[in-house]
Homo-oligomer: A and B are copies of this chain.
Amino acid sequence: MLKVIMEYLSKKVVCFGGGTGLPAVLSGLKQNPWLELSAIVNMFDSGGSSGELRDRFGILPPGDVLKCLLALSKHEQGAREILLKRIENKKYSGHTGGNVLLLGFEKVFGNHADAIDALGQLLSIQGKVIPVTHEQSTLCAEYQDGTIYKSETNVDDGIKEGKVLRRLFLEPEVMASKEALESIHSADVICIGPGSFYTSIMSNFLPKKIKKTIAKSKAKIIFISNLLTESVGMKDYCTDKFITIVEKYIGRKVDIVIFNKSLPNKDVLNRYALEHKYPVIIGKNSKSDSRFIFADLWTDSNIARHDSLKLANLISGLISQKNK
């Protein structure tokens, strides 16, 4: 009987996402000791510290990896204090300690998979952080006006300029990492989102074999809708559209959609409106869609972020449901 309960509770969960969204999911889910977590992380970051280190040293960008490692750490608070601090040095200005550390470990161990593994050991992480690919590539977007923008930050800029994205692609095409494919293959649950929709989330489905492996997977797929749309080029995106796009990129139906139903006060929304970010709207089809779960998920602050614990407990509850 105990064995049955354990099998029933114990699930392999694979999470896709980015920025601050994915760490929020992980930070909550790691508190459920029954789950075996894998975070599959985007390797196409081109902005900030991470992008500069990538350009300068030809390494894979460490930023999102670091955030996920911290989120999964048993010593999260202490580790954040140390590893998110920026180093001042005459040659390297303003890089976070953790990024430089991953760079240093990559130099010591000779490859980034071992570097990530070593830092994961030091941080006593609850789960795994898996690069979606071990190869270098640049994220590119073709917009409806026919223009093509290259690199993650430029792709985002295109959307900010009001361009509507038609096609997202990698240059060059790269193969997914073996570990990413294995974790998808054996997953009981796949969580998608939150995070920058195209650059952090959809980009993960581009390396070869990812889409096919998800399409074949028997995992329950949970899509966690963002709280807000992202700038001008996505202003008319409603849940219908988000779900259609996700399903196109993963080649399979989503089983559950988690949608935030509560909004903060007008001042906060007005502030985001200045950046052309608006609450995601329920589409016509979504209204009668039985896959939707509506919950109060906006964190108790003025920042557009999912409440990590509420989200994690909701996901845990959904995971242990017998029927999809």
Q: Does A291 contact B (CB under 8 A)?
A: no
Q: Does A87 contact B (CB under 8 A)?
A: yes
Q: Does A77 contact B (CB under 8 A)?
A: yes
Of B79, B100, B118, the contact of A89 (CB 8 Å cutoff): B118
Q: Does A182 contact B (CB under 8 A)?
A: no
Q: Does A293 contact B (CB under 8 A)?
A: no
Contact present for A122 and B89 (CB under 8 Å): no
Q: Does A264 contact B (CB under 8 A)?
A: no
A121 cross-chain contacts in B, Cβ below 8 A:
85, 87-88, 97
Q: Does A3 contact B (CB under 8 A)?
A: no
A88 cross-chain contacts in B, Cβ below 8 A:
121
A87 cross-chain contacts in B, Cβ below 8 A:
118, 121-122
A107 cross-chain contacts in B, Cβ below 8 A:
104, 107-108
Task: Give residues of chain A (70-109) contacting chain B, Cβ–Cβ below 8 Å.
Answer: 75, 77-79, 81-83, 85, 87-89, 91-92, 97, 100-101, 103-109
Q: Does A35 contact B (CB under 8 A)?
A: no
Q: For the complex, count residues of A whose C-beta is within 8 A of B.
A: 31
Q: Does A123 contact B (CB under 8 A)?
A: yes
Report if A117-B104 is in contact (Cβ < 8 Å); known contacts: A79-B82, A82-B75.
no
A104 cross-chain contacts in B, Cβ below 8 A:
101, 103-108
By Cβ-Cβ distance, the 6 closest A-B pairs, closest first, are A104-B104, A78-B78, A97-B122, A107-B107, A87-B118, A104-B108
In the bound assembly, the distance between CA atoms of A263 and B87 in angstroms comes to 45
Query: What are 24 A-B interface contacts by the 8 Å CB criterion?
Result: A75-B78, A75-B81, A78-B81, A79-B82, A81-B124, A83-B122, A85-B121, A85-B124, A87-B118, A87-B121, A87-B122, A88-B121, A89-B117, A91-B114, A92-B109, A97-B121, A100-B105, A100-B108, A101-B101, A103-B104, A104-B104, A104-B105, A104-B107, A107-B108
